[in-house]
A and B are shown apart, each in its own frame.
Chain A
Amino acid sequence: MSLTPKTTLWDKLVWSWRPESNREAGSSIVSNFLLHWFPNRVTLKSLAFGYSLYLGTITFTLFLILTLSGIVLMFLYVPSVERAYWSIKDIDFAVSFGWLLRRTHRIAAHLMVATVFLHMFRVFLTGSYKKGSANGSTRPFNWVLGVGLLVLTLGLSFTGYLLPWDQLAFWAITVGTSIAGAVPLVGEQMRQFLLGGTIIGQNTLIRFYVLHVAFLPLILFGVSIWHMWRIRKDGGLAVVEQIREEAVESPPELPKKTKTYSILGIAKGTTVHVKEPSLLNKANSVPSSPFLTFRTLTIVLLTLVFTIGLALITPAPLEGPANPEVTPNPAKAPWYFLGLQELVGYSALIGGVIIPGLVIFGLALIPFLDREQKYIGRWFSNSSGRKWSVAGAGWGIVSTAVCMGIGVTMPVREMFPGIESQLFFDIVNPATLLLLTFVALYFLVLKITGSTRLAATATFSGFIVSFILLTYMGTALRGPNWDFYWPWQSWPEHPIQF
């Protein structure tokens, strides 16, 4: 594919700058700071919607929407325990378009959590965390940065959640900070450092506010820029590996480049593109501008339209003002923490500290456990990858359902009334059992297939399914007193106050 010159008057009117040759398109990349982000040419495989689904672009766009709406909200919100709730009421009812700002900010935050997870699923399932053969590629490290971004996103959601200072906020923070308190030895100090005292109060609000509006967004911004820069340094999207494999078979048409560009003192060596023979030719690639810039712009606009559209039809709820004296029943966290709340319902130490810690650590470890350099950039690797993925998902459904069934029908503490040791109940509970089934799944598939990629695929697919099931369980199947109710059972009336 190449550029067709646009010379008619109409073309020039609707787009004042339109590159008319590959050379002009290339020089736009070099001369424009914003376009410098992109390589000169980009492969058709990388552009394909079905490969990347543009989830990273969507996530970063949502972050920009959140930053923009968040900055305006900062002018309207007062981080004081007396006035926070009422300033949110004002935003909802007194400020012109305040309701739209708050709804947009809230819905974009929910969407961002969702797209961060989906982006992680995509990168895993296409095997894009693998190093590949590109010179200087450290894709495994970029995956670790991505896991860090996931944690930062959840941290931003959690800190933002407190700010309306309503019942939902107050009790989510009570539970959240108490989970920090469940950490052995240093837990209580950590809890008090988060709270800025021994109880939730003004100190807590101002801490979470500063974390939410300055500290975490700045770190997230920095790390995501690093994350995107690394994609360039790692030789582009992982799907380019396929072109590299093909190029090994047929020698490149262009001579090897000898010029060396480098950012002295910041990055070691030269970029991937300089040292390697060019993989890109007219048949497999196009100039980034306009092909990638246009697609990126489209994705940004679609994300914006979708977010605002959703904000228009989804009201942002606000419960009663924070009341430390009355806990709502049931008291639920936002949806992305409800799977965790389900696990915390068995043991605060296992469900709130050890399992999330192991999941984050396990996720970061994936590229170092699975070092097979095959099927990079291919969805589910190959047919046996698809098979094991389905098998892992099936295992996830069964093991999660069984563990939750055990949790509902056989309360451990009632089965062993004679045991007083808390350690026993921290170890023997459905959450631990669930964790063990996934460890078993990994080693079982590893033993059968002898492939770390297949074992990781099965386990990860099981993890996705389990995460969805647990979230569903916490959202829809738990009622007052965190009792189990089928969707068709109605909840009993519970007086809110004693």
Chain B
Amino acid sequence: MSTADKKVNNERRSFLTKLTMGIFGAGVASFSWPYLRSLSPNILYEPPQRFKIGLPETFSQGVEFLEKQRVYLFREGNSFHAISGICSHLGCTVKYTPFRQQKEMKVRNLDVVSTGEFHCPCHGSKFRDEGTNYAGPAPKPLAWHPLEISPDDGQLLVDISQKVGRDFRLVV
């Protein structure tokens, strides 16, 4: 055997090593994919996100908390809007705390009369009664959800999977 034959072909060796590792990696990946993918559900048996909450005239003036939907329903005369009760920080349910008396304040450069505010029990975030976060760690305002009138029986419908702007009002 000549010396040239004995010499290790490092280029070929490293290529074969890389090839083997590559095939091994691809094998591991394709082997684990079904296991991981099966853990990401295709069907969610979760409660519906769109609720009938009752006839508009059954709600009293002011604020009402709809526990099941975790939504605050506001009624001013015949105008309705719905604000999510889920804190934009880490998902605790915020609590509406009414003021002793109405306050006039400037929110988002608008002069408004405010009757209360939202407090979060988990990390102390505070929100104006139209959802603007003004204290604590909450990074975003509270979400507003669209309201509509159900065509079949005239009940209010709230869709908590959808969001609307903070000027949304449903006038009945």
The answer to the question of B92 belonging to the interface, with a C-beta cut-off of 8 Å to chain A, is yes
- In the complex, which of the residues B41, B67, B121 contacts A330, with contact meaning CB atoms closer than 8 Å? B121
A482 touches B122 (CB 8 A): yes
Bound Cα distance from A341 to B124, whole angstroms: 11
Bound Cα distance from A414 to B139, whole angstroms: 13
A481 touches B134 (CB 8 A): no
The answer to the question of A328 belonging to the interface, with a C-beta cut-off of 8 Å to chain B, is yes
Which residues of B sit under 8 angstroms from A348, Cβ to Cβ?
A: 89-90, 137, 139
Question: Contact mask A5-19 → B, CB, 8 Å, 1/0?
Answer: 000000000000000
The answer to the question of B123 belonging to the interface, with a C-beta cut-off of 8 Å to chain A, is yes
**Given A324-B70, A411-B136, A413-B136: A498 touches B96 (CB 8 Å cut-off):** yes
The answer to the question of B153 belonging to the interface, with a C-beta cut-off of 8 Å to chain A, is no
Question: Contact mask B17-56 → A, CB, 8 Å, 1/0?
Answer: 0000000000000000000000111001111000000000
Bound Cα distance from A498 to B69, whole angstroms: 14
The answer to the question of A493 belonging to the interface, with a C-beta cut-off of 8 Å to chain B, is no
Q: For residue B89, give the distance in angstroms from its CB to the closest CB of chain A.
A: 6
A327 touches B92 (CB 8 A): yes
The answer to the question of B68 belonging to the interface, with a C-beta cut-off of 8 Å to chain A, is yes
- In the complex, which of the residues B41, B67, B122 contacts A203, with contact meaning CB atoms closer than 8 Å? B41
Which residues of B sit under 8 angstroms from A255, Cβ to Cβ?
A: none
Bound Cα distance from A481 to B136, whole angstroms: 10
Question: Contact mask B146-166 → A, CB, 8 Å, 1/0?
Answer: 000000000000000000000
Question: Contact mask B95-137 → A, CB, 8 Å, 1/0?
Answer: 1100000000000000000000001111110000000011111
B120 touches A481 (CB 8 A): yes
Which residues of B sit under 8 angstroms from A325, Cβ to Cβ?
A: 67-68, 70, 93
Q: For residue A323, give the distance in angstroms from its CB to the closest CB of chain B.
A: 9
Which residues of A sit under 8 angstroms from B45, Cβ to Cβ?
A: 201-202
Which residues of B sit under 8 angstroms from A426, Cβ to Cβ?
A: 139
Which residues of B sit under 8 angstroms from A480, Cβ to Cβ?
A: 121
Report the nearest B residue to A495, measured CB to CB: B95
Q: For residue B60, give the distance in angstroms from its CB to the closest CB of chain A.
A: 13
**Given A171-B92, A327-B92, A348-B90: A482 touches B124 (CB 8 Å cut-off):** yes
Bound Cα distance from A482 to B126, whole angstroms: 11
Q: For residue B128, give the distance in angstroms from its CB to the closest CB of chain A.
A: 11
Which residues of A sit under 8 angstroms from B89, Cβ to Cβ?
A: 178, 348
The answer to the question of B62 belonging to the interface, with a C-beta cut-off of 8 Å to chain A, is no
Question: Contact mask A173-215 → B, CB, 8 Å, 1/0?
Answer: 0110111001000000000010011110111000100000000
B92 touches A347 (CB 8 A): no
A196 touches B137 (CB 8 A): no
A482 touches B134 (CB 8 A): no
Q: For B119, B124, B135, B137, which residue has the most chain A Cβ atoms within 10 angstroms?
A: B137
The answer to the question of A425 belonging to the interface, with a C-beta cut-off of 8 Å to chain B, is yes
Which residues of A sit under 8 angstroms from B139, Cβ to Cβ?
A: 347-349, 422, 425-426
The 4 closest A-B pairs by CB, nearest first: A482-B124, A329-B121, A178-B90, A325-B67
Provide a sorted-by-A list of 5 A–B residue pairs whose CB atoms are within 8 angstroms. A175-B90, A196-B39, A326-B93, A331-B121, A497-B67
Which residues on A are within 8 Å of B, measured CB to CB? 171, 174-175, 177-179, 182, 193, 196-199, 201-203, 207, 324-331, 341, 344-349, 351-352, 411, 413-414, 417, 422, 425-426, 480-483, 497-498
